[in-house]
């Protein structure tokens, strides 16, 4: 069976490759500890689960999702109220919010709604792989702009040639950033919006780590930038703050025309989110938020443990202000694949090679902090025990 070009053009999905490597090592009897995938290890808060159970028993919810393809009115009001409370951004729930089956889904629908075949989309390098895939699926053309460590992994819009800026339809951002853990100051979002307005480009910030931040840092929303609503949308997700990755519920907010375009794609693709999951989403956004500080407390301890381990290996790394990852340069100038392979062979520990996020990720690697404390401690202990073998120059 011949697959469509868009599938043939995809780079092999990073996490699938990692899963294969883990399986191979396990088959050889290695007790593998995976720090590869970012999926919270803690349960969904109980009041959210209770609300799902209660509303799932009500036959009124055993139908197609109510209201319309944009999502339940009550859920969208909860989104708008949360954005106001949390980011000081006012949204019209009817026109400026959209319920998503996760922010990953939003990427695909944004590209389908606004890219014609051959249209350019400006994507950072390195970046979360789904952005690239969504542009290919829409028959668009990704144009990658480098993120520089010296600039705090922020792009420089002066790097974008003017003919590219003229032809581009879409600019993807993601701060706090996966994989680099970088955060963006509000002045950067002002620059991004100004660039997008000058060139008539839609700018989107993928924002699933808005709540996963440390040491008193509070990430700002792109929509708080001056003039943002003319050109900007933002995706957020209940996956990371409420440990709901498998539930598949998120949101797009911002420019009403962009929201309407995405809703039109959704109307013709999926029929929305199960009502009971939307009720549970309301409970998550409106209920007690203490789970978030509890979670970030756990991630912060893990973060500090891993930072200390990398430093003991001579790897220089600063504790990130946000996200549940650590991003660091490989020791001894090893390639990211060499280093990942050595960690797996020598210590049975899986990390993600930076190359999987784009060519600018080469020479770096990512670890995820979403693993039980005892397993993370065991992983770090093994790494320290094999320190000499791990850091010897690559042959
Ligand atoms: C985890 C993650 C997502 C996925 O969010 P869902 O709402 O679960 O689809 C999207 N973007 C980035 C950058 C992520 O790290």
What is the reported pLDDT for 52?
A: 98
Q: What is the pLDDT of residues 81-108, one digit of tens each?
A: 999 999 999 999 999 999 999 999 999 9
Sequence-ordered list of residues with C-beta below 8 angstroms from that of 147, at least 6 positions apart, any chain: 124, 125, 126, 153, 154, 155, 177, 180, 182, 360
Q: Output the CA angle 244-232-129, nearest 5 degrees.
A: 50
What is the reported pLDDT for 295?
A: 97
User: If you measure from the C-alpha of residue 323 to the centroid of ligand 1, how many angstroms do you get, rounded to a whole number?
Assistant: 11
User: If you measure from the C-alpha of residue 128 to the centroid of ligand 1, how many angstroms do you get, rounded to a whole number?
Assistant: 8
Evaluate: CB of 174 within 6 angstroms of ligand 1.
yes
Evaluate: CB of 236 within 6 angstroms of ligand 1.
no
User: If you measure from the C-alpha of residue 235 to the centroid of ligand 1, how many angstroms do you get, rounded to a whole number?
Assistant: 9
Question: Among candidates 248, 237, 255, which has minimal Cα distance to 89?
Answer: 255
User: If you measure from the C-alpha of residue 287 to the centroid of ligand 1, how many angstroms do you get, rounded to a whole number?
Assistant: 22
Atom of ligand 1 nearest to the CA of 38: 1
What is the reported pLDDT for 16?
A: 75
Nearest residue (CA) to ligand 1, atom 2: 208
Question: Among candidates 346, 389, 362, 386, which has minimal Cα distance to 33?
Answer: 346
Parts of the chain with a pLDDT under 70: 13-15, 395
Evaluate: CB of 103 within 6 angstroms of ligand 1.
yes
What is the reported pLDDT for 18?
A: 73
H or E element: which one contains 173? strand 168-173
């Amino acid at each position: 069976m011949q697959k469509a070009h868009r599938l043939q053009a995809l780079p092999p999905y990073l996490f699938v490759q990692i899963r294969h490597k883990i399986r191979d090592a396990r088959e050889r009897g290695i007790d593998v500890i995976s720090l590869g995938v970012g999926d919270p290890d803690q349960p969904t808060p109980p009041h959210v689960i209770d609300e799902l159970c209660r509303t799932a028993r009500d036959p009124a919810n055993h139908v197609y999702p109510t209201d319309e393809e944009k999502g339940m009115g009550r859920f969208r009001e909860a989104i708008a109220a949360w954005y106001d409370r949390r980011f000081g951004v006012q949204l019209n729930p009817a026109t400026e919010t959209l319920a998503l089956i996760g922010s990953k889904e939003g990427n695909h629908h944004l590209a389908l709604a606004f890219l014609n075949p051959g249209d350019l989309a400006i994507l950072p390098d390195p970046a979360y792989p789904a952005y690239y895939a969504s542009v290919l699926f829409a028959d668009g053309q990704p144009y990658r702009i480098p993120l520089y460590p010296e600039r705090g992994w922020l792009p420089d819009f002066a790097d974008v040639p003017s003919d590219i800026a003229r032809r581009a339809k879409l600019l993807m951002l993601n701060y706090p950033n996966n994989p680099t853990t970088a955060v963006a100051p509000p002045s950067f979002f002002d620059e991004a919006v100004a660039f997008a307005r000058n060139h008539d480009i839609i700018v989107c910030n993928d924002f699933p780590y808005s709540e996963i931040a440390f040491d008193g840092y509070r990430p700002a929303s792109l929509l708080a930038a001056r003039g943002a609503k003319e050109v900007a949308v933002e995706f957020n997700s209940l996956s990371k703050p409420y440990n709901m990755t498998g539930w598949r519920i998120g949101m797009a907010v911002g420019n009403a025309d962009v929201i309407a375009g995405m809703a039109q794609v959704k109307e013709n693709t999926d029929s929305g989110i199960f009502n009971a999951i939307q009720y549970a989403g309301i409970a998550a956004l409106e209920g007690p938020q203490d789970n978030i500080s509890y979670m970030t407390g756990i991630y912060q301890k893990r973060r500090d443990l891993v930072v200390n381990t990398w430093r003991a290996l001579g790897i220089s790394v600063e504790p990130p202000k946000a996200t549940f990852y650590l991003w660091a340069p490989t020791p001894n100038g090893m390639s990211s694949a060499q280093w990942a392979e050595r960690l797996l062979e020598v210590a049975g520990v899986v990390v993600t090679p930076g190359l999987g996020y784009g060519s600018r990720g080469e020479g770096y690697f990512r670890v995820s902090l979403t693993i039980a404390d005892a397993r993370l401690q065991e992983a770090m202990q093994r790494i320290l025990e094999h320190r000499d073998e791990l850091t010897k120059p690559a042959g």
